[in-house]
């Protein structure tokens, strides 16, 4: 049977543009994984890894015009957004190069023998080593930052792990272009091209997660798809770590005092956040707990005006558009649900932004309104109007894990008065990032960043953004009683590599 062709599709028209590849066979997936496995020794030298990552950023920047044009043709995200995302991707690659050079991620700990301890301590030397080949499953909504050259790939390469990427079907042509750019960067430093493999096709994705030489996987996408891969990773004869980002509602709590103090501003800010990128951000606020009464009315009025002024937009593909139109229609038919601005089809290929309102009491107990507690991908949010703090607590107690949770406080509450601190603590168990008087869209690439959260936000406790994302692809190993001549350079007493480490209980920078 001939391999199925992979087409580039224009989401603005739904028409195929060009054939860019074919779906990978099981044999081709095997070849890509084996080539990556054979390239792992080329990443042993941290100097080479850092140089490779910087060259990758340079090459992507040099190819910017062509890459942005290809990305826009396949995603309709627009040149402004895509240029910004590509700049972020380049910055991320350079940031990981710096982390590799610094070496703190190796977590070097050396303890000399101590016969006076109980029990006695032998000579112990611990650091972290790369896991091996990492399978990366690209996201649809970030064709640069969470795709072939995105955070999973960058952090895995930084850890010393070769990568095989399963391209997302929404931007296959761009995926091919970016893979070529990264391989060109690898060649500049004598790293085999196999260090970055690329495969297309649903079956190829399953073959990839099952391959015995794949040591870990990173995924960004839907709960259904991510859970299927997570289960496959766990069902292998040798299970592997699966770091998946699956879905998030990103709740927002607006206190009555905050709504009274600046309800109009909160409504306008919410509109901007929920419609950013046509609502296709993983941290879009999908549920907002706002007070009933006049204070909440001002927020809803402002939100109505701002969302009404938002132009219809194109989603990443027509399947997502169909799911959005059907999903908001089903939600809108539930009892006591109203649509101040009705979301749905904006045209044959577009969608219109909108939002729904519902009494918070409807969400406090299990029932048909549970649908409103599920993520709906696109420009829509649900505003649940609460009567008192008890209803807020009841709804929060029913929420699954999230990437973010936000609280909008008054000035006095932010200064420590009222329930401000209590609300922050109530939100903390729900999410990996808790915001006060901000909006969750926009995930800074910074050392302190955490982009993850309790299931189903993610399947692990790790982050996919920020410097600590590298930790996903490493495992610790300790050498006991090993002669100096047999130790890796990272663990020698003289510290020939100049690494930060903990030496006999003391921190050495």
Residue 452: pLDDT over 70: yes
Distance separating alpha carbons of residues 421 and 423, to the nearest angstrom = 5
N residues, the chain: 509
Mean pLDDT, the chain, rounded, equals: 97
The predicted structure's pLDDT at residue 453 = 97
Distance separating alpha carbons of residues 365 and 351, to the nearest angstrom = 31
Residue 1: pLDDT over 90: no
Structural domains in the chain, sorted by start: 25-246+461-473 (3.40.605.10), 251-436 (3.40.309.10)
Structure tokens at 221: 């996408």
Helix (H, G, I), strand (E, B) or coil at 87: helix
Distance separating alpha carbons of residues 142 and 140, to the nearest angstrom = 6
Residue pLDDT, tens place only, 114-173: 999 999 999 999 999 999 999 999 999 999 999 999 999 999 999 999 999 999 999 999
For the beta carbon of residue 73, count every other beta carbon within 10 angstroms: 18
Catalytic residue numbers read 245, 282
DSSP state for residue 468 in the 8-state scheme: G
- pLDDT over 70, % of the chain: 100
Residue pLDDT, tens place only, 311-335: 999 999 999 999 999 999 999 999 9
Q: Find, among 291, 258, 311, 298, the residue nearest to 420 by Cα.
A: 258
pLDDT band at 3 (very low <50, low <70, confident <90, very high): confident
- In sequence order, the 6+-apart residues with CB closer than 8 A to the CB of 487 are 125, 479
For the beta carbon of residue 469, count every other beta carbon within 10 angstroms: 28
| Residue with the two structure tokens 């995924």 | 219
**Please, how many CA atoms are within 13 Å of residue 16, restricted to the half-sphere of its CB?**
7
CB 257 within 8 A of CB 224: no
pLDDT band at 349 (very low <50, low <70, confident <90, very high): very high
pLDDT band at 2 (very low <50, low <70, confident <90, very high): low
Residue 372: pLDDT over 80: yes
**Please, how many CA atoms are within 13 Å of residue 371, restricted to the half-sphere of its CB?**
15
- In sequence order, the 6+-apart residues with CB closer than 8 A to the CB of 342 are 332, 352, 354
Residue pLDDT, tens place only, 269-312: 999 999 999 999 999 999 999 999 998 999 999 999 999 999 99
Residue pLDDT, tens place only, 381-425: 999 999 999 999 999 999 999 999 999 999 999 999 999 999 999
CB 227 within 8 A of CB 262: no
The predicted structure's pLDDT at residue 246 = 95
pTM of this prediction? 0.96
Neighbouring-strand partners of residue 199: 166
Radius of gyration of the chain (CA): 25
Helix (H, G, I), strand (E, B) or coil at 110: strand
Residue pLDDT, tens place only, 159-210: 999 999 999 999 999 999 999 999 999 999 999 999 999 999 999 999 999 9
């Amino acid at each position: 049977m001939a391999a199925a062709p992979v087409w580039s599709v224009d989401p603005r028209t739904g028409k195929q543009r060009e054939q860019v590849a074919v779906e990978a066979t099981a044999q081709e997936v095997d070849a890509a994984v084996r080539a990556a496995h054979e390239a792992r020794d080329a990443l042993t030298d941290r100097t080479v890894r850092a140089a490779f990552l910087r060259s990758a950023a340079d090459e992507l920047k040099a190819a910017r015009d062509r890459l942005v044009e290809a990305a826009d043709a396949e995603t309709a995200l627009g040149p402004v957004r895509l240029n910004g995302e590509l700049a972020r991707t380049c910055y991320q690659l350079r940031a990981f190069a710096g982390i590799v050079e610094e070496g703190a991620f190796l977590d070097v700990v050396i303890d000399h023998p101590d016969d006076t301890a109980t029990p006695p301590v032998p000579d112990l030397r611990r650091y972290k080593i790369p896991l091996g080949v990492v399978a990366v499953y690209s996201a649809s909504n970030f064709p640069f930052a969470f795709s072939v050259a995105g955070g999973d790939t960058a952090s895995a390469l930084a850890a010393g792990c070769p990568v095989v990427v399963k391209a997302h079907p929404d931007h296959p042509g761009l995926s091919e272009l970016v893979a070529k750019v990264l391989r060109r960067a690898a060649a500049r430093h004598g790293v085999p091209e196999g260090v970055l493999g690329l495969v297309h096709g649903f079956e190829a994705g399953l073959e990839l997660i099952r391959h015995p030489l794949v040591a870990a996987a990173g995924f960004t996408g839907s709960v259904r798809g991510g859970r299927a891969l997570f289960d496959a990773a766990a069902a292998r004869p040798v299970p592997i770590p699966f770091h998946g980002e699956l879905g998030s509602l990103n709740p927002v709590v607006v206190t009555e005092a905050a709504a009274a103090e600046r309800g109009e501003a909160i409504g306008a800010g919410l509109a901007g956040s929920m419609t950013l990128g046509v609502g296709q951000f993983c941290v879009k606020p999908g549920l907002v707990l706002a007070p009933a009464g006049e204070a909440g009315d001002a927020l809803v009025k402002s939100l109505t005006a701002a969302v009404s002024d938002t132009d219809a937009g194109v989603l990443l593909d027509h399947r997502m558009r169909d799911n959005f139109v059907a999903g908001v229609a089903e939600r809108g038919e539930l009892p006591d649900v109203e649509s101040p601005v009705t979301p749905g089809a904006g045209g044959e290929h577009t969608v219109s932004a909108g939002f729904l309102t519902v009494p918070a009491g409807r969400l406090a107990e299990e029932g048909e309104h549970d649908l409103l507690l599920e993520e709906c991908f696109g420009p829509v949010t649900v505003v649940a109007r609460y009567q008192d703090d008890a209803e807020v607590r009841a709804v929060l107690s029913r929420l699954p894990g999230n990437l973010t949770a936000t609280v909008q406080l008054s000035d006095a509450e932010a200064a420590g008065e009222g329930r401000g601190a209590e609300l922050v603590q109530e939100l903390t168990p729900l999410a990996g990032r808790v915001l006060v008087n901000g909006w969750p869209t926009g995930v800074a690439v910074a050392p302190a960043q955490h982009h993850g959260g309790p299931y189903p936000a993610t399947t692990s406790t790790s982050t996919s953004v920020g410097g600590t994302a590298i930790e996903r692809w490493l495992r610790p190993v300790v050498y006991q009683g090993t002669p100096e001549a047999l130790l890796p350079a990272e663990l020698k007493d003289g510290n020939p590599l100049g690494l930060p480490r903990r030496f006999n209980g003391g921190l050495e920078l």
